[in-house]
A and B are shown apart, each in its own frame.
Chain A
Amino acid sequence: MTDEKNHLSNKLGIWGWLGGGRYGLERYAYTLHRLTGLGLLLYFILHIFVTGSRLGGPESWSASMAVYETGLFKIGEFLVFVAFIYHGLNGIRLGLTELGFLMGKPERPLFPYRSSVMRQRPVLIVIMVLAVILILAGGLDFFVLTSH
C-alpha cells in the first residue's frame, strides 16, 4: 500500500488541465470531460428545481417554459445537449479503457514502441466523429426543425 506522504503533490492544480504535455490529445479530452461534467452538474441541479415547478400544476409549468424557451436559454439548452453528447461518448471510451478493453495485451517493449495511449486513440477519433454527427443532428432539431 502506498504511503500517503509519498504521493506526488498536484502542484499545478487546475492549471494542469490546460497543458496536454506528453498525453497530447487525450489530456485535452480529459479537460473537456471535466469542464462538461461540471457544467452538466450545475445545469442538473437547476433542472431539478425548474422541473419542480410542475408541483404548481400545468399553469405553473407553462409559465416557467415561457421564460426558458426563449433565445438565450435555448442556446444554453443546446450547449447542455452538446456537453452531454461529448461527456457521454467520451465516458464510454474512459469506461472501456478503465476496464482494460482498449489497452492491448502486455508485451515486451521492443522498438518501435507502441504505447497504450496510441492503441486507444482510434477509438477517441471515432467517438469524436460520432459526437459531431449527433451534435449536428441536435442543432438541426434545436434550430431548424423547431416544432416548439
Chain B
Amino acid sequence: MRESTLWFWHIIAGAVILVFLGLHMAIMHLDDILALLGTGYANTVSAATVFARSQQTFFMVTYIVLLGAALYHGLYGCRTILFELNIGKGLQKLINWVFTLAGVGLFVYGTYVAIYLYKMKEVLP
C-alpha cells in the first residue's frame, strides 16, 4: 500500500480516536465532574457498571471501533518513528510483519472480549 494512503488513514484514525477516546476518558475519568453536572455514570470501574456498559450495543460497537482505530494509529505512529532511524530494508520488512501481526492479533482478542461480554447479558442478571 502507498505510504500516502497509510498516512491518510493514520489521520482519519486519529480523528476517530479523538471522538471515542474523548468520550471514554470523559465517562471514566471526569465522572465526578459529570455527576456534579447531573450526568454520567457513578462508580465507573465497579463491576456492576462496567458489565452493564459492556452489554449495551453502543458501547460494544464503539469499543471495537476505538480498538481498531487506536491500534492502527499507534502502531503506524511507532513504525514511522522506527523507520526514521535509518534502518535497513530487511528490518523495515520485519517491522511491517511484526506490527501487522501484533495489530491483527490484538484486534481479534479485543473484539472477542467485547462480543463475548456483550453476549453475557443472556447469562448475567
Contacts and interface: CB of A to CB of B under 8 A. Distances in A.
Interface of A: 9-10, 13-14, 34, 37-38, 40-41, 44-45, 48, 51-52, 54-55, 58-59, 61-62, 65, 69, 77, 81, 84, 88, 91-92, 95, 98, 137-138, 140-142, 145-148
B43 A147 contact: yes
Interface string B84-125: 111000000000000000000010011001001100000010
A1 to B, nearest CB: 12
Given A38-B81, A147-B42, A51 B33 contact: no
Interface in B63-79: 67, 70-71, 74-75, 77-78
Contacts of A142: 29
B6 interface: no
A141 B33 contact: yes
A10 B106 contact: no
Nearest to B46: A148
Interface in B1-59: 11, 14-15, 17-18, 21-22, 25, 29-33, 35-36, 42-48, 50-51, 54
Contact of B74 (A13, A37, A54): A37
Contacts of B43: 147-148
A41 B81 CA distance: 13
A73 to B, nearest CB: 12
B17 to A, nearest CB: 8
B32 to A, nearest CB: 4
B47 A91 contact: no
A86 to B, nearest CB: 12
A40 B71 CA distance: 11
Nearest to B45: A65
B14 A95 contact: yes
Contacts of B84: 10, 13
A67 B46 CA distance: 13
